[in-house]
Amino acid sequence: MRKVAIIGTGMTKVDKHWRKSLKELFGEAGIAALNQTGSPAIDCLIVGNMCASDLSDQNNIGALLADYLGFVPNTAYRVEAACGSGGAAFLAAYSAVASGMYDVVMTGGVEKLTDGVGGNTTLSLGKAADAEYELFYGSSFVSLNAMIMRYYMDHYGVPREAFADFAVLMHRNGSRNPFAQLPFEIKRETVLNSDMISDPITLFDCAPVGDGAAALILCPLEDAKKYSDDFVEVAGISGATDTINIASRESLLSFRSTVTAADRAYRMAHISPADIDVAEIHDTFTITGVLSLEDLGFCERGKFHKMMMNGAFEPGGVVAVNPSGGLKSRGHPVGATGAYQIAELFLQLTGRAGKMQVPDASIGLAQNIGGSGSSTYVTVLRRV
């Protein structure tokens, strides 16, 4: 297996892009990544997407984007793993380069959620759950996470305000991100007094609905200097799964898929959680972010609020968490989210994150979840 590097990235601002199509959004991100690397010949395109079939009436995403970007007749295909599609696509791209099958691969993700209308978008996102045993009986993606959040609060005696404070931190971070959909600060009361979505989850516990695309270019580490002076090594990577319906889980207080994928990625990179300088974690809802902190080994279970109050998740603390603002503030164009996370880490590790920069960041981690923890993809990047 060859060592693999990321040599270039491109992102669009996450927003409601009414006047841009799927191919135009990804094209913008892809061209930005190409321009960063001297436009190398792309051997293969692997893109993550969840909802195009439902909301944009478009299948065959790989061929669509290869045609638009001028990659025909090379290999191109779509990867779907619900909200984890971007992370899954990156794992497939890594494998393609590491195996020696392809030398230069573009990967990433694209999503247009605003093409759907209200209930259509809710239904499409809900299909990340078990359609037969959860959606059929009236559960939604939000209500499933609300049950987990309520159970967590009762089990550990954690006050509702603690989750609001997590959202406040994410918005503080996102206010410095030029790619963020919600680049503004909020107060605890903003979260607590916002509209109830599914008790105890309110509007500001949720990542917003938006559109966006992010692209990354990978090549063998030994060839990276041919294309760019700024590159990072993929030091560890893995994916794992759990039962798709939460009723079959061994525990609702931890996502086994995250624990397993993280352990494998740490072992591959020969590091521990204590070695991570900056992490982009999956916070579709505030409860998802909290469980992610614990499952990744950054926080003792049930103690996140006390650690957060002490600055543990800010630069200089235990680990800088979501300097981009995370899904909560940067936005969550679901099929692209995993690619955004890795692209944000690339900027951090190459010292180009601007106002978001974490000083002396050398090792970063991205964690991308599909469904309510039914799949997770963890990537560890190292500055070279």
Is residue 18 pLDDT above 90, yes or no? yes
Is residue 118 pLDDT above 80, yes or no? no
In this prediction, residue 117 carries a pLDDT of 66
Q: Which helix (H) or strand (E) holds 108?
A: strand 105-112
| Per-residue tokens: 71 | 């990659």
pLDDT digits (tens, 9 = 90+) for 263-289: 999 999 999 999 999 999 999 999 999
Helices (H), 99-222: 119-126, 141-156, 160-174, 188-192
pTM, entire model:
0.97
Reported confidence tier of residue 115, pLDDT bands at 50, 70, 90:
confident
Q: Which residues partner with 380 through β-bridges?
A: 236, 365
Contacts of 248 (CB under 8 A, 6+ apart): none
Cα pseudo-dihedral 251, 252, 254, 257, rounded to 10: 80
Reported confidence tier of residue 148, pLDDT bands at 50, 70, 90:
very high
- pLDDT (mean) for 210-217: 98
Identify the three-state secondary structure at position 11.
Answer: strand
In this prediction, residue 241 carries a pLDDT of 98
pLDDT digits (tens, 9 = 90+) for 66-110: 999 999 999 999 999 999 999 999 999 999 999 999 999 999 999
What mean pLDDT is reported for the chain? 96
| Lowest pLDDT segment from 59-63, 112-116, 151-155 | 112-116
CA distance 75 to 64: 12
Neighbour-count burial for 6-43, b at 16+ CB within 10 Å, e otherwise: bbbbbbbbbbebeebbbbebbbbbbebbbebbeebebb
Reported confidence tier of residue 367, pLDDT bands at 50, 70, 90:
very high
137/233: higher pLDDT: 233
In this prediction, residue 135 carries a pLDDT of 79
Look at the alpha carbons of 133, 135, 138, 140 in this order and tell me if their dihedral is positive or negative. Answer: positive
Reported confidence tier of residue 125, pLDDT bands at 50, 70, 90:
confident
pLDDT digits (tens, 9 = 90+) for 293-325: 999 999 999 999 999 999 999 999 999 999 999
Is residue 210 pLDDT above 90, yes or no? yes
Amino acid type, 210: G
- Residues marked as catalytic: 83, 332
Amino acid type, 59: N
Dmax of the chain from CA atoms?
A: 57
Domains of the chain: 1-384 (3.40.47.10)
